[in-house]
Amino acid sequence: MSSQLSPASGFERLRRIESSKVFQGAVITIIILSALTIGAKTYDLPPLVEKSLIVMDNAITLFFLVEILFRFGVCANKKRFLFDGWNLFDTLVVIGSLIPLDNSEAVLLGRLLRVFRVLRLVSVVPELRFLINSLLKAIPRMGYIALLMFIIFYIYAAMGSMFFASVDEELWGDVAIAMLTLFRVATFEDWTDVMYATMEQYPLSWIFYLTFIFLTAFVFLNMMIGAILEVMGEEQNAKQAQKAHDERDEIARQLQAVQVQLAELTKQVSEKR
């Protein structure tokens, strides 16, 4: 009986190791070390240091390969391992990191994927995964807000091109250039210089700028933030509901196990009598 249970117990032990804080901390440490290595390569370094960084980079790549294989090995449902978006992302980054950097045709792709290894920090830390998932789910709602912003930008750009092209052709020459100028105004990049230039010919043009800033910088920006916060609240509520459901299931399993034990004890007592 013990020999039959040992594989299952060994598998559970490996799963506990994979989900332990020590293992996760080691992975986070290696990811940070990988980020520092990538940053160090952008500087002019002595040849010895460069060779050491190459050896370190190869060791980090090997660690990530072993780590992803270990996670695949302890996955309960291996057929659905890559159906998880974060697992698929980690696998692609690890496979891409295996591209040799001495291959001139693939050197750019290999370096780019090594840079993306830093993003694995998002997949390892649950709080960062929560933020990214919330942001991705908020994109459809933000898309409608962005469409409305584009309409406002286009209307104001057309108006600005009609009225202010004679003031400054480089800033208001056509709709496309005017939209870039309005983006500069919306981000408050020396927007007062643009406004004062048009006010010399059109004294009331400040109304144009203030209404545009009010709509874009205050109304639409707060709408974007509100959409993200709403999705984050929904995700947090769903997460808490799932946690409560799992806790209820665990309590039910424990109660069932206690009932089975009581039934066995009752049976043993009745047999002794």
| 32-85 tens-digit pLDDT | 888 888 888 788 888 888 888 888 888 888 888 888 888 888 877 777 787 777
The SS3 of residue 161 is helix
Name the band, by pLDDT with cuts 50, 70 and 90, for residue 88: confident
Continuous H helices in 173-220: 175-186, 191-199, 206-213
Q: Is the predicted pLDDT of residue 106 greater than 60, yes or no? A: no
**Where in the chain are all domains bearing CATH 1.20.120.350?**
7-123
CATH number, domain 7-123, options 3.10.20.30, 1.20.120.350, 3.40.630.10, 3.30.360.10: 1.20.120.350
**What per-residue confidence (pLDDT) applies to 67?**
86
Quote the pLDDT of residue 108: 61
Listed in order, the ranges of the chain carrying CATH 1.10.287.70 are 139-252
Q: What CATH code would you report for 139-252?
A: 1.10.287.70
Burial 227-236 (b: 16+ CB within 10 A, else e): bbeebbeebe
